[in-house]
Structures are given as C-alpha cells and as structure tokens.
Amino acid sequence: MKNIVVHAPRVTYYKGGAERYILNLLVELSKRNNKISLISYDAPRQTEWFLKFLEEFRGRIYLLKSVKMDNSFNRFINASEPKLWDEESKIFGKETKKFYEKNNFEAVICHYAVDCLHLPKNQKIYLHLHGLPNSVRKIENKALKIPDKIIAVSKYVRKGWKKLHNIKKKIYVVPNGIFLENKKYKGKRVDIIYFGRLIKIKGVNILLNSIKILNNKSIFPRTIIIGDGLEKENLIKFSKKLDLKNVSFLGKVKDKRLYSIISSSKISVFPSYKREGIMTTLLEASKHSSAIIASDSCSNKEFIVNNISGVLFEPKQYNDLSSKIERVLFDEKLREKLIKNSLETLKYFTWQRQANKIEKIYY
C-alpha cells in the first residue's frame, strides 16, 4: 500500500501536540514514500510549524479553500472544546467529498475520531488517538466503529479509550517521536521553564503555587512560562496575586528561541494531570538537555523512570512539586544524571523508529 492520504482539517493553523505529531510523522514517512498525501484546510493564517513542513515534506499537499471555514475561522482557531472541532470536521468532510471522488486512495489516515464520520463509506480508514476525552460522547462512540485500524500514542491513552467506549478491536500503541540532532550544551541561565499550551489540565497553576512555597523559603528560582491558551490571563493574574516577581510569561515564541531557552534551563516542569499522551514537550526538554520534573500521571511514566531519567511528583500536589524542584535545583550531579539518562531513553523515541512501526501497521 503506497497511495495513502492524511485527512487533517486543522493541521495548517492549530498549534497543538497532535498537529506537531502529524506534520513530523508525514515528513518522516515521505522520506520512504513520496506518494503519501495531505489534505487540509487552506487557512488564512498558518503556523510556523506548517510553513517549515512545506519545505521538508516530499509528498503531495492538497489545501482546500473554503468560504464556510473562513467564516468560522476565528472560532475554530481558538477552539478548546470538541463541539467546535466536530463542526469543523463536518464542514471539511462535506467540502472534500469531490476530492475523494476524484482520487483513489488505498487508505485515509485520521487523527481525530469524528473526522471518520465524514469520509466515503467505502474507504479504508486508519485512526490515530492522541489524548483522552473528558467523558463518553455518543458521536465519538459512533465514529470509533468506523476505522479499520486504530493506533494510540501511549498505553495510557489506549487503556482510557478502551474503557470509555468498551472498544473490543485491537488498538496498536506507537508513542510520539522526535528528530534527534547534535545539540550544544548551553550554560544554564534559567532555573525553571514550562512550555506548552496554557489550559487547565496542564496544571500551570500548580507550578505557580510551588514557586510561591519556594519564595516563602527565600528561594527565588528564575522561572519562565512559554505558551498561549485560554488560561493565560488567569495565570498572569494568579501570578501577580501570589506576588511572584521571579516568574515571567513570554507568550508564544518562535521555535529557534524556544529551543535556546530550553537548553539554557536547568529544569523543565510538566504538571499536567490528565488526558495526555507522551507529550512532545517532554521529548523536547530531553533533547535540549533540561532535567525533567513531571506529574506521576497520564503517560509520563512511559518515558520517565523516577529519579533515573526524570523526577515524578504527586499530581496536583504543589507541596510535593516544590520539594522536588528544590532538590533538583540544588543538586547539579542529579540534574546531570537525569539529563544523561533521558537522552539515552530518547533514542527509542526517534521518528525513524516510530515511523517504521506505523508503516508496518498501515501496510
């Protein structure tokens, strides 16, 4: 099977972990199959990730111009709930009908369950699952009956979907990946960094509370928060309320600057407490030689061995997080050990390895 297409409506403009995954996987698969295609929405604004992808991808790209999606673009780009994504999937599915009538693909790859509902009935469909929903939704229950094959990004995600929807069919597990390059080890000018979306489940408020505890002990780690999202303003206000003068919010930054900040940070903290697969941000922290502290939840233990390749803390427990930060912050040998071991683990999470596994499942 060579002639396959990835059906991904929002990958041109939405900046999330699933979108990063789709683009990176496509780049790697296109190195061995130049007939692989992408169909997506020709959005008015496109991400830095997608523009870089256009330069690297060796397959075929179809961008759909859509007046209906243009009219709702401002709602879609800020979406954080499934109902809006469902609406987008429906519009995009209807408007790509002629595209599928003209092209004869051996399989269509989806990365959002509801997308499966709006594809030709006679089409072979494979679905990737990237995270967990909050609860059972009828529309997803219906959609999950359609795919011929399902791939989850972690054991945690597979277990969660199976339990929520009582799925009997096999779900393969292939974790997220990363491209490895030789990186220069930089001097550590920043103590703590969080980077990712600023939404509730990411738990950034837990990090802020833990910094306050450290401040009360006359420990003032230089802390940088990078990212955007619905909780951004609330988190800034909360930081001011706690009088955290050692915390800076940088908002969105370009990748080159982001990677520079990560590599100059002693610790990367990931306080997410539910629904997450193995996060790209976790892999990026490892790649750029920043010691990892993460909650003992979601899929984190599928990458981190506690006190070996990272340090885990009790989910939502900012007292525990503050003590773990203090320990790692003042123990340079421990940080060096964590960085060295996580880099060793990272060799098993390259896109080349993950694409090989996925290709076998597809073909």
Distance CA 227, CA 276 (A): 17
Please identify every stretch of the chain with a pLDDT value under 70, giving residue numbers as ranges. 1, 182-186
Would you state the pLDDT for residue 241? 98
Helix (H, G, I), strand (E, B) or coil at 247: strand
Q: Are residues 73 and 101 in the same domain?
A: yes
Is residue 182 domain-resident? Answer: no
Domain with 254 in it: 190-348
Q: Are residues 141 and 261 in the same domain?
A: no
Would you state the pLDDT for residue 171? 98
Are 339 and 290 spatial neighbours (Cβ–Cβ below 8 Å)?
yes
Q: Tell me phi and psi for residue 179, to 5 degrees.
A: -90, 125
pLDDT tens column, 216-235? 999 999 999 999 999 999 99
Q: Are residues 140 and 202 in the same domain?
A: no
pLDDT tens column, 118-168? 999 999 999 999 999 989 999 999 999 999 999 999 999 999 999 999 999
Would you state the pLDDT for residue 186? 64
Of the residues 173, 204, 235, the one at which a domain ends: 173
Q: Are residues 275 and 314 in the same domain?
A: yes
Would you state the pLDDT for residue 274? 93
pLDDT tens column, 334-344? 999 999 999 99
Alpha-helical runs (H) found in the chain:
17-30, 48-56, 67-71, 73-77, 82-95, 97-102, 138-143, 155-165, 204-216, 232-241, 255-263, 280-287, 318-329, 332-346, 351-362
CB neighbour burial string for 315-335, b if at least 16 within 10 angstroms, e if fewer: bbbbebbbebbbebbeeeeeb
Which domain CATH number covers 116?
3.40.50.2000
Is residue 154 domain-resident? Answer: yes
